[in-house]
């Protein structure tokens, strides 16, 4: 009986090992994404003051990059079907482009 248990434990080990390695990897990837988002936020804040009116395009580009990071990494679209990723990027790309066009002087 104990030999059977030992055999079962041995068989389960690689799967458990893979699972336990998966979580730290995911947490590390999330932490990197979070740091990038914080860095980009700080950059756009500093750029908005130093570049004043010329900051429109860089700030909107940073906003688009941040939305992509949140969607692909935090919302898990990175492992979804490519069409879903494209749809998401097109939606936010179109919104940011519309904001850029609406903000430019007529």
Partner 1 sequence: MNDRTLVAPAAQPVATEPFEPPGGLLVWIVIVVETLTFGAGLVTFAVSRRDEPAVFAAGRAALHQPLALANTFVLLTGGWLMANALASLRAGRAKGAERWILAASASGALFLVLKSVEWAEKLRHGLGLHHDSFFTYYWLLTGFHFLHVAVAVVILLGLYRGIRRGRYTAADHLDVESGGAFWHMCDLIWLLVYPTVYLLGGAS
Binding site for partner 1 (CB under 8 A): 19-20, 22-23, 26-27, 30-31, 33-34, 37-38, 41-42, 44-45, 48, 52-56, 59-60, 62-63, 66-67, 70-71, 73-77, 79-81, 83-84, 91-92, 95-96, 98-99, 102-106
Based on CB atoms, which residue is closest to partner 1, 3 or 83? 83
Three-state SS annotation for the chain: CHHHHHHHHHHHHHHHHHHHHHHHHHHHHHHHHHHHHHHHHHHHHHHHHHCHHHHHHHHHHHHHHHHHHHHHHHCCHHHCCHHHHHHHHHHHHHHHHHHHHHHCCC
Cβ proximity to partner 1, 3 vs 24, nearer residue: 24
């Amino acid at each position: 009986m104990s030999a059977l248990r030992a055999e079962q434990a041995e068989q389960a080990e690689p799967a458990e090992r893979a699972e336990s390695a998966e979580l730290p990897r995911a947490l590390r990837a999330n932490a990197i994404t979070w740091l990038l988002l914080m860095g980009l936020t700080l950059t756009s804040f500093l750029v908005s003051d130093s570049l004043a009116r010329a900051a429109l395009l860089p700030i909107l580009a940073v906003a688009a990059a941040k939305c992509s990071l949140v969607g692909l990494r935090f919302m898990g679209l990175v492992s979804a079907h490519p069409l879903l990723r494209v749809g998401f990027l097109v939606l936010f790309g179109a919104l940011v482009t519309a904001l850029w066009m609406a903000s430019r002087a007529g």
